[in-house]
Amino acid sequence: MAKTKKPKEQPAPEPVKPSEVMKMPSGRVLKSLISSGAKADEQIAEIRGGYGAEVKKGTENQNVHKGALAWLRKLSKMSTSRAAEQLLHFEHGLEVIGLREKLDAQLKLFADSEGAGEDGEDGESASEGDDANVTRFPAAG
């Protein structure tokens, strides 16, 4: 039988640098952008911290509901038509999962407890003092 020749091992090709395939930014540009991004991240964190302090103050002293505020901020960033569409879907979702009826009952309890006496226990009317910025829920019915 004839001897078969073993294929000669060819040296591995040299790896191709990405910059040889297409134009790439210089290292200086990349390092500068990374540094700018890190500085921006620090500034964003400071701004978020300041905003967080404002929200905390609002939740503690001015009856702001943190979750409701987040929804309002999200909706306020949308176009009117998109916000309306989202609200319609939200309302539909409340209906189909059976939450609307439970929420209406809870809102009625809120309204009943608030409407039990326009004067608070200390004789202060609901339109005075800390509750001056509170809007009463309409009674569900």
Give mean pLDDT, residues 52-70.
96
Query: Quick one: pLDDT at residue 128?
Result: 44
Give mean pLDDT, residues 66-93.
96
pLDDT above 70 covers a percentage of the chain that reads 79
Query: Quick one: pLDDT at residue 20?
Result: 77
- The predicted model scores a pTM of 0.56
Radius of gyration of the chain (CA): 32
pLDDT digits (tens, 9 = 90+) for 16-49: 888 778 888 899 999 999 999 999 999 999 999 9
Give mean pLDDT, residues 44-57.
96
